[in-house]
């Protein structure tokens, strides 16, 4: 059951594959150090961080940067989708969390990533017996890490910092709280170029025309998250694949092809905002 719910991975993304998020990566560099060499903190007269809380809007790269953190530290990552666990294993959830720690304890350095952390740690749920039992399993395990000399970091991610019980944010718990913001204009250019390079690597050829005007893309994609940008590039390439399947020679991708998808995606985002829906367009 745990294997179905909790994905263990040795990620292959590095900090350089995460666009923008300079401050986030700087802060996480300390966590890399804690995973690689926890003793250095003790020698420095302090404690390594044990819990990190990443907060920001959906799609800004919280999961991506947590995977890159693990990769930079040569560590495994356990991704716990707590919403799914709560939903399907209601009542057994704390055992799932305990067994993740048991497995992590048998391992070398690792990151335990808990998505939708607010579902677990909401102060509005204080009366909820299940969630408070899970939180206590989490905290008991985190408390013991230092004495056991374990280099395990728990990373919680949420879109709703306001919903997190402040008791969890005390020193020695999730004491490193990092905002993961929407990308700025130059950061969006950076994210576009990361996803274009990734596509070139997959295709093993240069798909995009020379002298691609990244700044035009960055300007037009105001308020887009990294996930929105990845989706725009994916849609541009899917359109190109369709042309190939119809026997046409699509040539290189032009900046105008991407702009077309940026505009389409913007309309979709606006419609979604108006309707309050979270659905996907087809
Ligand atoms: P959620 O809150 O919905 O779980 P999230 O913040 O964890 O979202 P991710 O799952 O990390 O977001 O992002 C989804 C995808 O969007 C990533 O796999 C990646 O392709 C792309 N992406 C997001 N942010 C970035 C970024 N800063 N640089 C490059 N790609 C990004």
| C-beta of 158 in contact with ligand 1 (< 6 A) | no
pLDDT single digits (tens) 158-184: 998 888 877 788 777 888 999 999 999
Q: How confident is the model at residue 206 (pLDDT cuts 50, 70, 90)?
A: very high
Q: Which residue has the higher pLDDT, 200 or 82?
A: 200
Q: With 70 as the cut, is the pLDDT of residue 45 above it? A: yes
Q: Which residues pair with 6 in a beta bridge?
A: 80
| pLDDT score recorded for residue 93 | 78
Nearest-atom index, ligand 1, CA of 194: 29
Ligand 1, atom 2, residue with closest C-alpha: 58
Q: Which two tokens stand for residue 164?
A: 């997190």
Q: Whose CA is nearest to atom 19 of ligand 1?
A: 227
Residue 197: is its pLDDT beyond 80? yes
> With a 6 A CB cut-off, is 63 part of the ligand 1 pocket?
yes
Q: How far is the CA of 262 from the centre of ligand 1 (A)?
A: 17
Cα gap 152→144, rounded to integer Å: 11
pLDDT exceeds 70 at position 275 = yes
**pLDDT at residue 205 above 60?**
yes
Ligand 1 neighbour 179 (Cβ under 6 A): no
pLDDT at 281 over 50: no
pLDDT class for 122, splitting at 50, 70, 90?
low
Residue of the nearest CA to atom 15 in ligand 1? 227
Q: Report how far apart, in Å, the C-alpha atoms of 241 and of each of 69, 135, 264 are.
A: 34, 47, 18
177-203 per-residue burial string, b: 16 or more CB within 10 A, e: under 16: bbebbbbeeebbbbbbbbbbeebeeee
């Amino acid at each position: 059951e745990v294997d179905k719910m909790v994905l263990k991975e040795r990620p292959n993304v590095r900090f350089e594959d995460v666009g923008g998020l300079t401050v986030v990566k700087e802060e996480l560099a300390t966590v890399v150090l804690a995973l690689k060499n926890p003793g250095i903190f003790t020698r420095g007269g302090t404690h390594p961080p044990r819990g990190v809380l990443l907060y920001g809007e959906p799609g800004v790269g919280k999961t991506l940067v947590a995977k890159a953190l693990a990769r930079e530290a040569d560590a495994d990552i356990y991704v716990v989708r707590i919403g799914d666990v709560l939903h399907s294993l209601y009542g057994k959830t704390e055992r799932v969390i305990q067994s993740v720690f048991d497995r992590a304890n048998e391992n070398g350095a690792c990151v335990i990533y808990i998505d939708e952390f607010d579902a677990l740690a909401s102060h509005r749920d204080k009366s909820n017996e299940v969630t408070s039992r899970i939180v206590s399993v989490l905290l008991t395990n985190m408390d013991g890490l230092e004495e056991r000399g374990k280099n395990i970091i728990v990373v919680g991610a949420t879109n709703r910092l306001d919903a997190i019980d402040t008791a969890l944010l005390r020193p020695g718990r999730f004491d490193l709280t990092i905002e993961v913001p929407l990308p700025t204009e130059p950061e969006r250019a950076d994210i576009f170029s990361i996803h274009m390079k990734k596509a070139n690597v997959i295709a093993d050829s240069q798909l995009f025309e020379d002298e691609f005007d990244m700044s035009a893309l960055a300007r037009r994609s105001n308020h887009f998250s990294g996930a929105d940008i990845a989706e725009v590039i994916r849609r541009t390439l899917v359109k190109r694949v369709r042309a190939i399947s119809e026997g046409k020679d699509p040539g290189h991708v032009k900046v105008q092809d991407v702009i077309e998808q940026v505009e389409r995606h913007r309309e979709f985002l606006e419609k979604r905002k108006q309707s309050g829906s979270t659905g996907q367009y087809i």
